[in-house]
Amino acid sequence: MTTADAEAAERFVVVVNDEGHHSLWWYGRPVPPGWRATSEPATREECLARIERDWTGLRPRRRLAAVDPR
């Protein structure tokens, strides 16, 4: 198997924590405490595109709530 084949076969998921931070995580590995998977297994590029699309603000939710408590 070539490096390109191995990378294509490797799957990831998007994980999100309670503050709304997004990250890439290896599919099949236990998700760290405080994080939850929010996507189906996909390629690295697909997961990164989803993170870019969905995570539009870097401010933690608790900081946003302090500024705008809606």
Lowest-pLDDT range of 18-22, 36-40, 52-56, 62-66 = 62-66
pLDDT at position 25? 98
Q: Tokens at residue 6, please?
A: 């191995």
pLDDT band at 65 (very low <50, low <70, confident <90, very high): low
DSSP 20-65: --EEEEETTSPPPTTEEE-S-SB-HHHHHHHHHHH----S-HHHHH
Lowest-pLDDT range of 24-28, 32-36, 53-57, 60-64 = 60-64
pTM of the shown model: 0.72
Domains in the chain, ordered, with CATH? 3-67 (3.90.820.10)
- H/E stretch holding 15 reads strand 12-17
pLDDT at position 57? 76
**DSSP tag of 19:** T
Give the mean pLDDT of 51-58: 87
